[in-house]
Structure 1
Amino acid sequence: MTACSMTGFARGEGSDDRIRWTWEARSVNGKSLDARLRIPSGWERLDPIVRKSLQDGFKRGNFTINLDIRPIGGKGVVRINEGLLDELVARCEAFGERPRLDTLLTVRGVVEAAEEDDGDLSGDDERIAAIESTLTDTLARLAEARSDEGGRIASVLRDHLGEIETLVEEAETCADAMPEAIRNRIMAQLDELLPKDGALASERLAQEAAVLAVKADVREELDRLKAHIEGARDLLREGTGIGRRFDFLCQEFNREANTLASKSAALDLTRIGLNLKACIDRLREQVQNLE
């Protein structure tokens, strides 16, 4: 299965002997599934059809669905703005002029081109089925566009996970992360800071240093990071509907990286921790696009 993005666009057109229609479907990131529909007046019976199609086909995203319906060429009508025409006639007579219809009809706004009233056409079940079929095709293309974009995002996520894995391996081999190195560093610091007269027993100091070394040990955080990497790769293999879970996993990634950086007392390990945080932020930015 392929991971899906929440971003996409699709367009579909159809027609019969009376009208021509066009569907446009757009989607962007969203925490849930929300739809904004623009359906022409008189065609409201399509509204629940669109909403159900979205719920059946998608899990998350903010959708904008537009339907444009126009009469077939030659089906337009011409209307006379009688109110404006009466006003012009009255003005001509007020000035003592004899109104000429051929002249008045050339005044802008008197003659109006209009579309044939198609409100009654929405009652034709066969026509509604044809429009719905175009909608189905349009949403299928939208899903395909989201899937294609999701594939590109998944490739970027795999690269980020590889970078995180490399940093974790680097941290594992860092001498400053080894328990013995941590213990020796703490003992050296205590030796510099404490009095030389033996006021504090060396055995007690060794015990305290061991406790501090355990607290500074980052192996547990590194193990968790490795587990999170495998979990993220499993999600990518699963593909669909992984956005929320992947976002939560990114929070866990970030928590372990923060702990690692806070425990570090060595420049090399601190550098690795900061690089991990930066890479995890980039990972999470991309994850926000997944359905």
Structure 2
Amino acid sequence: MHSILQTQEMKTRRSHYSTSLAQSQGIIQECLTLFELWEEGQTANMLLESARQLGSLQTDSERRLRNIVTEGFGSRFLRPPHLEAAPEVRRVLLHSQSPKLIREIILLYALRQHGIFFDFMTELYWTTIRSAGNQILSEDVDSLIDKGVIEGKLARKWSPSVVERVVSYVLGMGRDFELLSPSRRGRADIHSWHPHENTLLYLAYDLHFLGLSDDQVINAEEWTAFGLSRPDVILYLQRFESESHLVLQDSGSLCRIEWSHHTRNALTHVLI
């Protein structure tokens, strides 16, 4: 039986934990504003200068502006291997009529950038939902960080005050993406959520365009952050086949996919 967490030859996300959530969190509207400003070929530092000159983000400090543009937006969208997708991501986000799809595409790239938030989704959020829970506690995220220390996901152990701040950042990001209610007394209510079908179509094709084999696409760990197991992924791919987006041949141990859309631009026309 294949594991949904099978190692991928190409690293599509960062697994280490850092405090960088403090510098950006969800920044959904800010990402849209920056994609309106961004031009293909611009680096994060070039975009920062443009945002500074135009006053696009109306931040209260130079540090906050730099954090949003370089540590938030730039680290998610303007770094390998995801830089090549940025022009089409821009078109999808700025032209889609679905706020849910827009939010979830930004969520995907945030999950790829922040290892601790990825693990929050796979080890706390979906696990709690499957066990019929309706709240996540600050202590749960604290325990997740302790587990990360044991697994070597932190460069060094954080002080209690840093742990407390990171816990608040993780819960804050969950709130930004409408996965959680605002935390009160260390408790955050879970909002029931299922990903947009076009988000999953985008993810499948994005993994393909990144160079993963068909088996690696199906077993990619990003699916778990959207609450899907391998059988779930197969069901969605079969649905996409019925909509003529691909042709799937799955034997249970090996799979082959014939992809109908041959460029990112062709996929964009489907999504918007």
TM surpasses 0.5: no
User: Which of the pair is proportionally richer in strand?
Assistant: 1
TM-score normalised to the size of structure 1? Answer: 0.21
TM-score normalised to the size of structure 2? Answer: 0.22
Structure with max Cα Rg: 1
